[in-house]
């Protein structure tokens, strides 16, 4: 049977690489004071039809379940998060700083950086209107990527604002109800030929040139200036550029928006997000009104960039080597001593040592080979000399006989 296009098998090596990304995400998000939450994989389709909008609705994996409910596999977390917080808003002290690492499904054309199934870290702050929250969010994005050994020369945060585009649109006589359509045209203006953009903008009395000129003005608006100042105070200013080409595709964004790209522009966006100050109110029919902002960072583009960046790749490889390595291999030199060897294996494992041993009788040379292949630091040989055992440091080949009872004292507990 063939794997579905855009889906992945995770063999142990792939799983380790995935876990490296997920664990690094979790550790940096926690360092910033974000706490983890999760939601269901399946949601009523209306949640995304009404709240996400744009391209995403055409990319849903949706079906009718046995109870005749029209449902979709989750393509993103923001509508779920808004629903969850709106339902129990009073239970939580503001601002909320929540993160999650869900698996998502989008029926996209499979290509570099885009699959139909992927993981995405989300960090969101709810209940804080101040630009300090926007800066905190951009800072965590930067530190997440730095956590993988990526630096200022490898990626850039492109900071923008839908408010700036709203004002531009209003100045040209545009109506608020047409704003989202206008944003979608702006979103594609850099990629589409100018004639196509001109044709789409004609009904608003605007031209591609006007839109592209505004896009290329790099001056920070009053909304963006304090965010830049905050990030500069943290020493992170060099990671950020103002770029009005960013408007974001999803419907719910209201103000500041941003996307993160690799500097060499070989990849799709690494992450994207912004403010969605109206979504909770929309979700709760006006009962809950909380300002909110967040971003999503996917694993696929990130893995490509790590692979193509030598320092980041070296950090990943070192992590993988540590992750794979056993601490101890117990060599059973005399099968008659298997019960004693099993007791020793058990004690080592109880003490937190990653310990392996031959499940069936094998030649001593073969066992040492296996120990090397598993990356074990130490081999403990159980044989004729029992209750003494031979402890061998595999890298240096140093060896010594010690009492089996004293073996545990040779090891520091694994951290």
Q: Residues in the site for ligand HAM, rule: CB under 6 A? A: 76-78, 106, 108, 114-115, 118, 120, 122, 124, 250, 269-273, 294-298, 300-301
- Cβ proximity to ligand HAM, 137 vs 316, nearer residue: 137
Query: What is the C-alpha to C-alpha distance for residues 389 and 79, in angstroms, rounded to an integer?
Result: 60
Shortest spacing between CB 137 and ligand HAM, in angstroms: 9
Query: What is the C-alpha to C-alpha distance for residues 231 and 238, in angstroms, rounded to an integer?
Result: 9
| Phi and psi based region of residue 11 (left: phi greater than 0; alpha: psi -120 to 50; beta: remaining) | beta
Residues 6+ apart with CB under 8 A from 308: 266
Query: What is the C-alpha to C-alpha distance for residues 163 and 367, in angstroms, rounded to an integer?
Result: 67
- Cβ proximity to ligand HAM, 114 vs 349, nearer residue: 114
Shortest spacing between CB 352 and ligand HAM, in angstroms: 36
Q: Which helix (H) or strand (E) holds 27?
A: helix 12-31
CA distances from 314 to 21, 24, 306, 363 (A): 14, 15, 9, 36
Shortest spacing between CB 204 and ligand HAM, in angstroms: 25
Shortest spacing between CB 286 and ligand HAM, in angstroms: 21
User: Encoding tokens for residue 74?
Assistant: 């989750």
How crowded is residue 289: how many other Cβ atoms within 10 Å of its Cβ?
A: 13
Shortest spacing between CB 146 and ligand HAM, in angstroms: 17
Shortest spacing between CB 108 and ligand HAM, in angstroms: 4
Whether the CB-CB separation of 413 and 375 falls below 8 Å is answered with no
- Cβ proximity to ligand HAM, 191 vs 397, nearer residue: 191
- Cβ proximity to ligand HAM, 115 vs 185, nearer residue: 115
- Cβ proximity to ligand HAM, 108 vs 385, nearer residue: 108
- Cβ proximity to ligand HAM, 269 vs 376, nearer residue: 269
């Amino acid at each position: 049977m063939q794997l579905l296009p855009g889906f992945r098998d995770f063999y142990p090596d792939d799983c380790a690489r995935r876990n490296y990304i997920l664990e690094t995400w979790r550790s940096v998000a926690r360092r910033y004071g974000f706490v983890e939450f999760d939601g269901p994989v399946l949601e009523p389709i209306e949640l995304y039809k009404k709240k996400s909008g744009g391209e995403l609705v055409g990319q849903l994996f949706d079906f009718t379940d046995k109870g005749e409910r029209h449902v979709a596999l989750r393509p993103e977390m923001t509508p779920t998060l808004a629903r969850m917080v709106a339902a129990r808003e009073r239970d939580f002290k503001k601002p909320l700083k929540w993160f999650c690492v869900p698996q998502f499904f989008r029926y996209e054309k499979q290509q570099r950086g885009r699959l139909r199934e992927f993981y995405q870290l989300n960090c969101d702050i709810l209940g804080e209107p101040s630009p300090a929250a926007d800066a905190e969010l951009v800072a965590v994005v930067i530190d997440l990527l730095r956590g993988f050994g990526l630096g200022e020369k490898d990626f850039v945060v492109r900071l923008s604002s839908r408010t700036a585009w709203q004002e531009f649109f209003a100045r040209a006589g545009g109506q608020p109800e047409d704003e989202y359509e206008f944003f979608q045209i702006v979103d594609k203006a850099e990629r589409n030929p100018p004639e196509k953009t001109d044709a789409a903008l004609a009904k608003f009395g605007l031209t591609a040139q006007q839109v592209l000129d505004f896009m290329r003005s790099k001056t920070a608006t009053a909304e963006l200036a304090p965010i830049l100042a905050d990030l500069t105070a943290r020493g992170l200013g060099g990671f950020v550029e103002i770029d009005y080409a960013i408007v974001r595709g999803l419907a719910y964004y209201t103000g500041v928006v941003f996307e993160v790209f690799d500097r060499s522009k070989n990849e799709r966006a690494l992450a994207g997000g912004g403010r969605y100050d109206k979504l909770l109110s929309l979700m709760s029919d006006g009962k809950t009104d909380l300002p909110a902002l967040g971003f999503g960072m996917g694993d696929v583009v990130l893995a490509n960039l790590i692979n193509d960046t030598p320092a980041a790749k070296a950090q990943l490889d070192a992590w993988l080597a540590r992750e794979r390595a056993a601490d101890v291999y117990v060599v059973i030199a005399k099968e008659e001593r298997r019960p004693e060897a099993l007791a020793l294996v058990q004690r080592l494992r109880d003490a937190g040592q990653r310990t392996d041993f031959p499940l069936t009788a094998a030649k001593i040379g073969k066992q040492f080979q296996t120990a090397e292949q598993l990356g074990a630091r130490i081999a403990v040989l159980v044989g004729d000399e029992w209750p003494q055992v031979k402890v061998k440091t595999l890298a240096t080949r140093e060896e010594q006989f010690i009492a089996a009872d004293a073996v545990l004292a040779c090891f520091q507990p694994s951290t």
